[in-house]
Homo-oligomer: A and B are copies of this chain.
Amino acid sequence: MDQQVIANGNCSGRVVEGPTNPMVTPLLTDLYQFTMAYAYWKANKHQERAVSPCGFDLYFRKNPFGGEYTVFAGLEECIRLIANFKFTEDEISFIRESLPGSCEACDESTSLFLEFVFHGNSLLILKRRTKYRIWQDGFFDYLRGLDCSEVEVYSIAEGSVVFPKVPLLRIEGPIAVAQLLETPLVNLVNYASLVTTNAARHRFVAGKSKMLLEFGLRRAQGPDGGISASKYCYLGGFDATSNVAAGRLFGIPLRGTHSHAFVSSYMSPDEIIDKSLRSADGSSSCEDLVSLAQTWLSKIQWSSSLRGIFGETNQSELAAFTSYALAFPISFLALVDTYDVMRSGIPNFCAVALALNDLGYKAVGIRLDSGDLAYLSCEARKFFRAIEKEFGVPGFGKMSITASNDLNEETLDALNKQGHEVDAYGIGTYLVTCYAQAALGCVFKLVEINNQPRIKLSEDVSKVSIPCKKRSYRLYGREGYPLVDIMTGGNEPSPKVGERILCRHPFNESKRAYVVPQQVEELLKCYWPGSSDKPREDLPPLKDIRDRCIKQLERMRPDHMRRLNPTPYKVSVSAKLYDFIHFLWLNEAPVGELQ
């Protein structure tokens, strides 16, 4: 059956497009997912879903960046992969060659020298005079027929605030398919959630009123490291990106003006050939914007309040600014630190901005990309205000100041503490590479198979998995804040508004509390119903996911959100699930002897 038909069927007529990055295919997974798939197939376990479902939880164990919250992102890309999951013949041939026991793998890892022949439908390996039958063709027919029509996906809504241990996604279906999905789903969720959280944290420190621009493409980890950073930073609360490809793919607002190289590329104002500019209302024309700017420069230089602040400015910088203003008179924003911010960049900018003002154009502002940003922004503001006052140009003092240059959460915080006049931040490297913590540790754990709950034990308690196909709820308190997330067994009744419920720490016996929720939100919803007839949640547009994220972050109790010593948000299990976890734990753990 054609995959798109299945997808359409499952989506009640809604087509799910393929992954944004065409490199996201069913081969984007670890080899061991295929070796396991073969072993499951050999053991006839690959279709266990047909008899009884198996379930995997995708979750993380620790919030990133020393914080106490995470924003979940990447769901849409996961569903796009699942909806279009289908192997091509070329991919199947490649898997055939790649399974261990095929020439290359065997040769290197076992130091056996092997030769190959085809015999009927099976590949034989001749080793000296011995024969091994490696794998059976039925497996590749199985892969050929494989899609996600037997898989069901339950997920928290993308853009939600989420916490450790609570499943972000649950995948139900045949174990072999679920495992093939493990690597790409974890990949698609890990970085997406990490960088969204990083963006949200930057927004938190910068404050609501500032404009946040993502400038990270050149330093990102590869091309779609850059493209997905732009998407998810926008989701996490940024206003715009410099990345044109991301702007096009996701409809994110774009920002950009010019670089130092643009300024350096000019030697003198003589290089500008066409210096004329029509006024904004079209009524008149200035024949020489360079001269007009130079006239303004000397007026500023000798004005009463600014006299003596600067001497001769860099003329090639003035040329570059004028040239840029001629190209973009209605959106003039200049990078003012190529030579010297206060002695050259700011006066040159103001001269050009005042010349534009004569023609009815309003300049946008400046960008600072080096030096002491707090100090320079305050000095620039003073300069702008002095101009407004001296020359009677209303609004000149409010000229926008953008700051960039290796900014991160800490530097934004430090700027706030020092006091500054920055209106917009351009943030790159530290944001998109998540320099403070470059990975989120999402895992994908088997929680149930054949209706049997499974637990993964570990000597490290934080690594013990919570078994069963669970349901999860967020309980809200009187003040409207989320109080606690609670996981229950799949068949337990859901918590009810106004009814007292015991919330237990999953692993710590002494930590428990009664809660009377004022609102109960079920967290996991069906985003891919497989061949079941369950209703399927919509995949909302990016703007809506972004709105959800911003609203959810605003609804959190402030002590969970603060940068210094935030209060951990509580994650719990029901009394019944608690007992069951500990029953299983005792059952599975080997009994040792202390020696």
Does B328 lie within 8 Å of A23, measured CB to CB? no
Name the contact of A218 in the complex, choosing from B186, B226, B242 (C-beta under 8 A). B186
Residue of B nearest to A39 (CB): B327
Name the contact of A217 in the complex, choosing from B29, B56, B110, B314 (C-beta under 8 A). B29
Does B327 lie within 8 Å of A226, measured CB to CB? no
Name the contact of A225 in the complex, choosing from B191, B215, B333 (C-beta under 8 A). B191
CA distance A442 to B248 in the complex (A): 26
CA distance A20 to B223 in the complex (A): 10
Name the contact of A98 in the complex, choosing from B31, B244, B264 (C-beta under 8 A). B244
Verify if A510 is at the interface (C-beta below 8 Å from B).
no
CA distance A513 to B570 in the complex (A): 64
Name the contact of A45 in the complex, choosing from B22, B191, B271 (C-beta under 8 A). B271
Verify if A5 is at the interface (C-beta below 8 Å from B).
no
Does B253 lie within 8 Å of A439, measured CB to CB? no
Which B residues touch A330, using CB under 8 A?
101, 106, 110, 112, 125, 132, 134
Verify if A89 is at the interface (C-beta below 8 Å from B).
no
Verify if A42 is at the interface (C-beta below 8 Å from B).
yes
Does A36 lie within 8 Å of B326, measured CB to CB? no
Give residues 436-470 of A contacting B (CB, 8 Å).
437-442, 444-446, 449-450, 452, 454, 456-460, 463
Say whether, besides A108-B253, A109-B255, A191 and B220 are in contact (CB < 8 Å): yes
CA distance A31 to B248 in the complex (A): 11
Name the contact of A331 in the complex, choosing from B23, B105, B314, B454 (C-beta under 8 A). B105
Copy total for this chain: 2
Does B324 lie within 8 Å of A39, measured CB to CB? yes
Does A225 lie within 8 Å of B227, measured CB to CB? no
Looking at A274-282, A297-305, A535-543, A546-554, the stretch in contact with chain B turns out to be A274-282
Residue of B nearest to A220 (CB): B187
Name the contact of A456 in the complex, choosing from B22, B187, B253, B260 (C-beta under 8 A). B260
Does A222 lie within 8 Å of B219, measured CB to CB? no
Give residues 362-410 of A contacting B (CB, 8 Å).
362, 364, 370-371, 400
Does A32 lie within 8 Å of B224, measured CB to CB? no
Does B32 lie within 8 Å of A273, measured CB to CB? no
Say whether, besides A218-B190, A278-B133, A429 and B439 are in contact (CB < 8 Å): yes
Verify if A259 is at the interface (C-beta below 8 Å from B).
yes
CA distance A458 to B23 in the complex (A): 41
Verify if A95 is at the interface (C-beta below 8 Å from B).
yes
Verify if A434 is at the interface (C-beta below 8 Å from B).
yes
Nearest CB of chain B from residue A478's CB, rounded to whole Å? 39
Looking at A154-162, A336-344, A571-579, the stretch in contact with chain B turns out to be A336-344
Does B245 lie within 8 Å of A219, measured CB to CB? no
CA distance A98 to B104 in the complex (A): 50
CA distance A457 to B449 in the complex (A): 65
Nearest CB of chain B from residue A128's CB, rounded to whole Å? 9
Nearest CB of chain B from residue A259's CB, rounded to whole Å? 6
Verify if A120 is at the interface (C-beta below 8 Å from B).
no
Does B323 lie within 8 Å of A28, measured CB to CB? no
CA distance A100 to B332 in the complex (A): 9
Say whether, besides A54-B265, A187-B220, A331-B106, A30 and B256 are in contact (CB < 8 Å): yes
Most buried by B among A44, A445, A457, A590: A590
CA distance A248 to B274 in the complex (A): 54
CA distance A362 to B109 in the complex (A): 11
Does A248 lie within 8 Å of B100, measured CB to CB? no
Does A28 lie within 8 Å of B226, measured CB to CB? yes
Verify if A294 is at the interface (C-beta below 8 Å from B).
no
Verify if A121 is at the interface (C-beta below 8 Å from B).
no
Which B residues touch A235, using CB under 8 A?
none
Nearest CB of chain B from residue A554's CB, rounded to whole Å? 21
Per-position 1/0 for A166-188, Cβ under 8 A of B: 00000000010001001110111
Contacts beyond the supplied A45-B265, A109-B333, A187-B226: 12 A-B pairs with Cβ under 8 Å = A21-B224, A23-B227, A30-B243, A38-B327, A43-B273, A43-B326, A45-B271, A100-B331, A221-B433, A223-B224, A261-B446, A438-B438
